[in-house]
Amino acid sequence: MKNKTHEEYMKQAIVEAKKAGQNGEVPIGAILVAENGEVLSSEYNRTISLCDPSAHAEILALREAGNKIKNYRLLNTILYVTVEPCIMCMGAVIYARIESVVFGTYDPKGGAAGSLYNFAEDKRLNHRTGIISGICEEECRSLIREFFKARRVNSES
């Protein structure tokens, strides 16, 4: 990507994740970046507010970018997401032909980019997506941990 580092783009995804948390959503943010460095979309989880189980940050970012460029194939793009994508999101990434996924922290209970599953490496699928993990890992992990910690405390009250 032109002129910016993975960390700089991830910081933008973290801003989106914080918006999700402030709205009572699981704090996950995603941005999709074109080959020239342009941010095509930036989104955060909105499953609760939209009453839509598919309204993950990644899915919303892919939808927004597809509408922007008027194509369902998002070739030569990089998806930055604060937490490892789930099965649904990795499926969408593969079908959209995303070049790479860059994420902050692993999701050992539902991740599909290396922890629980590894769709990016499955040779049976028609597209392989590059994976880069651990970008701004501690900040991304901390957002998720603090969110769920606060929910546990509130549910015990």
Q: Clarify whether 35 is annotated catalytic.
A: no
Q: How confident is the model at residue 1 (pLDDT cuts 50, 70, 90)?
A: very low
Confidence of residue 3 (pLDDT cuts 50, 70, 90): low
Query: Which of these, 85, 109, 83, lies nearest to 96 by C-alpha position?
Result: 85
Convert the pLDDT of each residue in 6-30 to its tens digit. 999 999 999 999 999 999 999 999 9
- Rounded Cα distance between 132 and 148, Å, is 25
Identified catalytic residue from 16, 58, 121, 139: 58
Instruction: State the amino acid at position 65 in one-letter form.
Output: A
Average pLDDT over residues 49-69: 98
pTM: 0.94
Residue 58 has pLDDT above 80, yes or no: yes
pLDDT in tens, 112-154: 999 999 999 999 998 999 999 999 999 999 999 999 998 888 7
